Each structure stands twice: as C-alpha cells, then as structure tokens.
Amino acid sequence: MAITLMVWYKRKMTTLFDPLEIMYHGEAVIEQRLAAYTIGFFVFWLLGIASSAMTCYFQRSADEINRCPLPPRNRPEGCPKRDDGSGCC
C-alpha cells in the first residue's frame, strides 16, 4: 500500500508542474527534467523510509521503551528498581 501511495504521489507531482519552470531569483533551479525527477524520486523514497521508521518506533509498547536494560543486581546504587532494597524511594 505504501509503495502504491508513493508512486501515486510521484505521478501527481510530476504532472502538476514542469521542473524547468521552477525559478529562484529568476534563474532555473534545475537544468534538466530528468535530474528533477530523479531528485523527486529519492525524496519520496526518503519520506517512505522516515514514515516506516516512525511506525516501527511508535508501535513499541511503553514497557519496551522504558524498561531498564541492566539486570536488577547490576543497576546503580539508588536505582528504585534495584532488587536489594537500596533504592531511594
């Protein structure tokens, strides 16, 4: 679905404007259409990668994000989750 959506957006963007008509201070930003379409292709792929990475990050549960990676005996002194009762609380 995501790839289909990216292809659809790319097709819409390539038909909405001509890359040779994009001007910055009266100068053409890109000299060739193929270069503009190549840059646009990679930008859309980067958007897809960022979207997938954020999905993977946000699908983790709170326990997976907040759990301590150290076993209880190796946690520093004063850690409230240390099992020997030396916690500050």
Please give the model's pTM, rounded to 2 decimal places. 0.50
pLDDT: which is higher, 85 or 16:
16
Structural domain contains residue 84: no
Q: Is the pLDDT reported for residue 15 higher than 80? A: no
Structural domain contains residue 63: no
Q: Domain residues for 28?
A: 2-58
Structural domain contains residue 26: yes
C-alpha 65, offset from chain centre:
18
According to the model, what pLDDT value does residue 29 have?
Answer: 82
Count of structural domains within the chain: 1
Structural domain contains residue 27: yes
Tens of pLDDT along 52-88? 999 998 898 888 877 788 888 788 887 777 776 554 5
Structural domain contains residue 76: no
Q: Is the pLDDT reported for residue 89 higher than 90? A: no
According to the model, what pLDDT value does residue 69 have?
Answer: 81
Alpha carbon of 85 to those of 22, 72, 74: distances in Å?
A: 67, 11, 13
